[in-house]
């Protein structure tokens, strides 16, 4: 359901509703699209736009009205481009703009193995000293370990249901993913022990149904859904308690950086075991849930600086790393 509460709407509004409805039927996540089209509809209605297609002039005027940084604008522009393509399929010939050439220069924080150990130690000792029915203190130790162990995204982890966890096959089925492609994550024997221990304590909560097959694996103390924002706030406090300082960018490391770290640490182990980097890339892409191995380049380019000890290994193994990273960096400059 897509609804923008305005006194009057543009002629594009019904098509926006159909577009969102179609994506929902296909099982595509629509949260981001709803936010973008809400912005586009508010602007279109404010200028009294009455056409059933997107004109070049209207498109560029809307872009000029956008606020925020380049990353924010790029995201919104891409969303409206997808909607314009949908209108074309409906016979409402619309202007389809160029995808903005914006490239992020943001560098994720890669935790060291010692920092990971410190984080886990801090979260294990964390206690809530006030009554909070919605507390997620029970969830955090397992959640952080799961993200680091599997490289899954926080949203993917919080959408796992009990039936998705298969201890027989040592895997977790991820159904709600960023790319809308269902995939399986392998879980190690150690991670299985952690999850089973969490489930044992979770099932002691005085809440009915937490162990139901389709109930969420992670829930708060009253059996409710764990909010991603609450997890990020708690993680921020855990970082401070662990002695982390702000990065050169002016911020503390993020929980999403555990995913980046999982990829880099996994690659480090694969290279140390003597595996060919050309074989590692496709495997890492599957591990991270990337649709295209090229998407993994963002993680690869961090390795030589994050782990210089890899360069001290046998040249037969390390040379391909340097060559591939340099190739990816040269492509980014084009």
User: What does the alpha-carbon distance between residue 98 and residue 95 come to, in Å, rounded to a whole number?
Assistant: 10
Q: Taking 80 as the threshold, does the pLDDT of residue 213 lie above it? A: yes
Q: What is the pLDDT of residue 318?
A: 43
Q: What is the pLDDT of residue 1?
A: 66
Mean per-residue pLDDT of the chain:
84
Q: Taking 90 as the threshold, does the pLDDT of residue 273 lie above it? A: no
Of the candidates 147, 152, 139, 287, the one whose C-alpha atom is nearest the C-alpha of residue 217 is 139
Q: Which residue has the higher pLDDT, 178 or 32?
A: 32
pLDDT digits (tens, 9 = 90+) for 109-155: 889 999 999 999 999 998 887 778 889 999 999 999 999 999 899 99
Order of all β-strands in the sheet with 183-186? 165-166, 171-174, 183-186
Residue 164's pLDDT band, with cuts at 50, 70 and 90, is: very high
User: Among 8-22, 87-101, 272-286, which is the least confidently predicted range?
Assistant: 272-286
User: Among 148-157, 206-215, 263-272, which is the least confidently predicted range?
Assistant: 263-272
DSSP class of 219: B
Alpha-carbon separation of residue 73 from 57, 171, 313 (angstroms): 17, 38, 43
Q: Token digits for 212?
A: 């139901």
User: What does the alpha-carbon distance between residue 332 and residue 142 come to, in Å, rounded to a whole number?
Assistant: 37
What residue has token string 């595996």? Answer: 275
Q: What is the pLDDT of residue 25?
A: 86
User: What does the alpha-carbon distance between residue 147 and residue 191 come to, in Å, rounded to a whole number?
Assistant: 11
User: Percentage of the chain surpassing pLDDT 70?
Assistant: 84
User: What does the alpha-carbon distance between residue 11 and residue 3 come to, in Å, rounded to a whole number?
Assistant: 14
Q: Taking 50 as the threshold, does the pLDDT of residue 163 lie above it? A: yes
Task: Dump strand ranges (E) for the chain.
Answer: 165-166, 171-174, 183-186
The arithmetic mean of pLDDT across residues 39-56, rounded, is 93
Total Cβ atoms within 10 A of residue 19: 21
The arithmetic mean of pLDDT across residues 298-302, rounded, is 58
Q: What is the pLDDT of residue 319?
A: 44
User: What does the alpha-carbon distance between residue 295 and residue 322 come to, in Å, rounded to a whole number?
Assistant: 18
Which letter, b or e, does each residue of 271-289 get, where b requires 16 or more Cβ atoms within 10 Å of its Cβ? Answer: beeeeebeebbeebbebbb
Q: Which residue has the higher pLDDT, 305 or 223?
A: 223
Q: Is the pTM of this model over 0.95?
A: no
What is the helix (H) or strand (E) element at residue 275, kind and residue range?
none
Q: What is the pLDDT of residue 321?
A: 45
pLDDT digits (tens, 9 = 90+) for 241-255: 999 988 877 889 999
Q: Which of 98-112, 171-185, 217-231, 282-296 has the highest mean pLDDT?
A: 217-231
9: phi then psi, degrees, rounded to nearest 5:
-120, 160
What is the helix (H) or strand (E) element at residue 173, kind and residue range?
strand 171-174
DSSP class of 97: P
Q: Taking 60 as the threshold, does the pLDDT of residue 158 lie above it? A: yes
Map out the domains of the chain as residue ranges: 13-89, 113-241, 257-333
**What kind of architecture, by CATH, is found in domain 113-241?**
Orthogonal Bundle (1.10)
> What distance lies between CA 24 and its chain's CA centroid?
19
């Amino acid at each position: 359901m897509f609804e923008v509460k305005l006194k009057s709407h543009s002629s594009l509004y019904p098509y926006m509703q159909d577009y969102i409805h179609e994506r929902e039927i296909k099982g595509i996540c629509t949260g981001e699209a709803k936010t973008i089209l809400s912005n586009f509809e508010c602007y279109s209605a404010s200028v009294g736009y009455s056409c059933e297609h997107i004109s070049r002039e209207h498109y560029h005027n809307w872009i000029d009205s956008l606020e925020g940084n380049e990353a924010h604008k790029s995201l919104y522009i891409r969303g409206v481009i997808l909607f314009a393509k949908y209108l074309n399929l409906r016979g409402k010939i619309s202007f389809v703009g160029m995808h903005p050439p914006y490239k992020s220069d943001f560098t994720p924080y890669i935790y060291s193995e010692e920092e990971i150990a410190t984080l886990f130690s801090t979260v294990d000792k964390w206690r809530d000293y006030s009554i909070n029915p919605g507390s997620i203190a029970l969830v955090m130790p397992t959640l952080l370990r799961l993200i680091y162990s599997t490289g899954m995204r926080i949203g993917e982890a919080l959408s796992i249901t009990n039936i998705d966890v298969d201890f027989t096959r040592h895997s977790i089925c991820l159904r709600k993913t960023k790319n809308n492609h269902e995939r399986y994550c392998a879980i190690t024997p150690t991670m299985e022990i952690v999850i089973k221990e969490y489930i044992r304590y979770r099932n002691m909560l005085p809440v009915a149904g937490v162990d139901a097959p389709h109930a969420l694996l992670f829930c708060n103390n009253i059996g409710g859904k764990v909010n991603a924002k609450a997890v990020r706030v708690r993680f921020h406090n855990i970082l401070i308690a662990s002695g982390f300082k702000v990065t050169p960018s002016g911020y503390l490391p993020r929980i999403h950086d555990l995913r980046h770290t999982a990829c880099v640490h996994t690659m480090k182990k694969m290279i140390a075991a003597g595996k060919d980097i050309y074989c590692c890339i496709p495997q890492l892409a599957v591990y991270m849930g990337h649709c295209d191995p090229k998407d993994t380049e963002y993680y690869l380019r961090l390795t030589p600086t994050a782990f210089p000890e890899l360069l001290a290994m046998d040249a037969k193994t390390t040379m391909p790393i340097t060559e591939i990273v340099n190739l990816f960096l040269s492509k980014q400059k084009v």
